[in-house]
């Protein structure tokens, strides 16, 4: 096993950096660490995650379930249920809570297809 370098050896590339340079370098490294997690969140979701998001937006579990099911039926899970509700509320100029409850009741689904025409069935 290779011997570990001393702290002084490991920090040589940092020694001549200013505080601003160190600050920028820190955030570059942080982005490299966090980016795979952010990408994973963008590309992969589950009904349980989407229900959890809707609960945090103030919807009840009885409201969240039909919203998630409707999103899944239309092949829009990758867009995110909360995102769909938010975009639709902007399009309809209505409060997002009202839009979400309407979706849970079966309303507004025709308008949802137009929000993401490239993936809607």
Per residue in 57-114, pLDDT tens?
999 999 999 999 999 999 888 889 999 999 999 999 999 999 999 999 999 999 998 8
Residue 52 in any domain: the answer is yes
Is residue 73 included in any domain, yes or no?
Answer: yes
Is the per-residue pLDDT at 50 higher than 60? yes
Domain for residue 7, yes or no?
Answer: no
pLDDT of residue 120: 41
Q: Which of these, 114, 50, 113, 52, lies nearest to 83 by C-alpha position?
A: 50
Task: Give domain status of residue 12, yes or no.
Answer: no
Q: How many domains does the chain have?
A: 1
pTM metric for this prediction:
0.64
**Per-residue pLDDT reduced to its tens digit, 101-112:** 999 999 999 999
Q: Per the structure block, which two tokens stand in for 25?
A: 């370098």
pLDDT tops 90 at residue 7: no
Range of the domain at 55: 47-115
Residue 57, exposed/middle/buried by CB under 10 A (0-12, 13-18, 19+)? middle
């Amino acid at each position: 096993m290779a011997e570990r370098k001393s702290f002084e050896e490991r920090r040589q590339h940092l020694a001549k950096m200013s505080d601003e340079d160190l600050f920028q370098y820190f955030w570059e490294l942080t982005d490299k660490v966090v980016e795979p997690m952010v990408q994973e969140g963008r590309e992969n979701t589950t009904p349980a995650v989407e229900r959890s998001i809707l609960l945090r937006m103030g919807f009840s579990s009885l409201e969240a379930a039909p919203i998630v099911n409707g999103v899944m039926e239309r092949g829009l899970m990758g867009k995110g249920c909360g995102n769909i509700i938010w975009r639709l509320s902007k399009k309809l100029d209505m409060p997002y809570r009202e839009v979400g409850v309407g979706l849970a009741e079966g309303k507004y689904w025709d308008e949802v297809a137009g929000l993401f025409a490239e993936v809607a069935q």
